[in-house]
Amino acid sequence: MARFRAGDYEAAAAFFEQARQADPTNMQAYNLLGYCYLSLNRKGEAFAVYNDAVRANPGKPDPYHYLGNAYRQTGDFVKAEEAYRKAIDLAPADPTAHVKLGELFAQRGDMDKALAEYQYEILRLKARLAENPDDPQPEADLARFYLDHDIELKEALTRAERAAKAAPDNNRIGVTYAQALAKNGRTDEAISLLETVIARESNAAFKRYYQNLLNRMRTEKSE
C-alpha cells in the first residue's frame, strides 16, 4: 500500500496482482489493481481486471461498482450506467450504486435523476440520525453528503452548525461546518474556523489536509 499511496503504480500493480491471485475474492485487490492500470493508461488491462472480478465473484455488486467507476472515468457513460444498474439489481437496498448512478446523472447534467438516486443514501443517513438523535456524527455525515454533492446547501449548513455545537472539539465535524460556511458564502467565518481546527489538530496528515483546504479557501476568496 505504501507504493500505491506514493503514486508508484507500476510497483503497486505487481503487489495487487499477487494479492488477487492469492485470493480471488479479495475485492480491494481487484479495485486497486484496476485503478493502478487506469492511472498507467493501461485501460485494456484495467477492464480485464474488473471483468475478472465479476466472473470470480458472481452475484456480488462490488465488481460492478468498480466497473461502473472505470467506465465513468474513461467517459463511457452508457456502460457506466449499465454497470451501476447491475449492481443495484444485485443489492437494491444498498445505496452505494444508487449514489454512483446519481453522480453519473449529475455529471451528465440531469439533476432530477441524480436527486432521485441520492435519496437512497439521504434516507439511510436520516434513519441513522433518528436512531441516534443525541449523536452529532450522523447529522454531520448528512451535512457532508449534501456538501459533497453540492445539494441542499442551506440545510447542510444548519445541520453542520448543530453538530459542531454539540461536539465543539471534534475536528472532523468542525471542518464539515467550515466547508458548509464557505459553500454558503460565509468564507471569512470558514477560514477562521479552519485556522482554529488546524491549531488544535495533532495528527500531521490531517493537519496537512486541513491546511490544503484552508489554502484553497483563501485562494478562492482572493479570485
pLDDT at res. 106:
97
Walk me through the domains of the chain, giving residue ranges and CATH numbers: 135-223 (1.25.40.10)
Q: Is the pLDDT of residue 3 over 80?
A: no
Instruction: Give CA–CA dist 162/197, Å, rounded.
Output: 17
Tens-digit pLDDT profile for residues 136-185: 999 999 999 999 999 999 999 999 999 999 999 999 999 999 999 999 99
Residue type at 125 in one-letter notation: L
Runs of H (alpha helix) within 95-152: 95-107, 111-131, 136-148
Evaluate if pTM is beyond 0.85: yes
Q: Mean pLDDT, the chain, as a whole number? A: 94
Question: Under 8 Å CB-to-CB from 180, ≥6 apart: which residues?
Answer: 143, 147, 153, 156, 157, 160, 161
Q: Is the pLDDT of residue 5 over 90?
A: no
Q: Is the pLDDT of residue 51 over 90?
A: yes
How far is C-alpha 39 from the chain's CA centre? 18
Q: Is the pLDDT of residue 108 over 90?
A: yes
pLDDT at res. 155:
97
